[in-house]
Amino acid sequence: MTSWLYSWMGIMVFALGWRSFKKVNARMLYFAPDLVFSEMQVSSMYEHCVCMQHLSQSLGQLKVTKEEFYCMKVMLLFSVVPEEGLKSQSCFDELRMTYINELNHLVSHTSQGDQAERLFQLTQLLDSLHRIVKKLHQFTYNLFIQAQSQSVKVNFPDMISDIISVHVPKILTGMASQFSSMNSTVTLSSLPLALSGAHL
């Protein structure tokens, strides 16, 4: 649960990028069947939407498979930890390495080109997501504070309110650490790519 509280934004953005890639070929952001943003230059969120659309386009350019997407999505769940660590840190680290190995395994069985390059591209894509998410965290927190200061307050669901008011500030102030997926696979990429982890 703690991992989700810190990584929810990254997971949601990555899922949005995938959905936009699969549903509309990344021509626009596909939030939901009844909520498609294509022209919103006047919105304060426009800059963030452009970045998220670029992420979606990258998924298409790399021809990311469904299996790779699922594995990368789980890796995002294990990409942020609080400064004080977790009660089950060893289990967390083991699970994280399992899915890094699994991505390596998938690449070794599906890539028709340079497998090490493919692994590098996928982990580089994951790491690029951190920059997008950091800006979205700041945007979300500012919006939350602004909403609370209005004469007519906007009521956020309790869980969302708790995440934004407690956990997002920790991330913004460096009290939570982000792992680099690319650095985590450096050792793996130097080994034979037949190496496999646990299967999904």
What's the mean pLDDT when you consider all of the chain? 83
What Å distances lie between residue 56 and 22, 23, 24, 53, CA to CA? 9, 11, 10, 5
At residue 18, the pLDDT reads 97
Residue 19 has pLDDT above 90, yes or no: yes
The domain locations on the chain are 2-189
Residue 186 has pLDDT above 60, yes or no: no
pLDDT digits (tens, 9 = 90+) for 31-81: 877 766 665 666 778 889 899 999 999 999 999 999 999 999 999 998 888
Supply the DSSP symbol for 157.
P
3-class DSSP state of 170: helix
pLDDT digits (tens, 9 = 90+) for 125-136: 999 999 999 999
72 vs 68: CA distance, rounded Å: 6
49 vs 162: CA distance, rounded Å: 24
At residue 195, the pLDDT reads 30
At residue 182, the pLDDT reads 62
Better-predicted residue by pLDDT, 35 or 7: 7
pLDDT digits (tens, 9 = 90+) for 148-166: 887 766 777 888 888 999 9
SS (H, E, C) 13-74: HHHHHHHHHHHHCCCCEEEECCEEECCCCCCCCHHHHHHHHHHHHHHHHCCCCHHHHHHHHH
At residue 39, the pLDDT reads 59
32 vs 16: CA distance, rounded Å: 9
Question: What is the mean predicted confidence (pLDDT) over 3-15?
Answer: 92
CATH number (2.60.40.3140, 2.120.10.70, 3.40.640.10, 1.10.565.10) of 2-189 reads: 1.10.565.10
At residue 26, the pLDDT reads 93
3-class DSSP state of 177: strand
Which residue carries 């991505």 as its tokens?
103
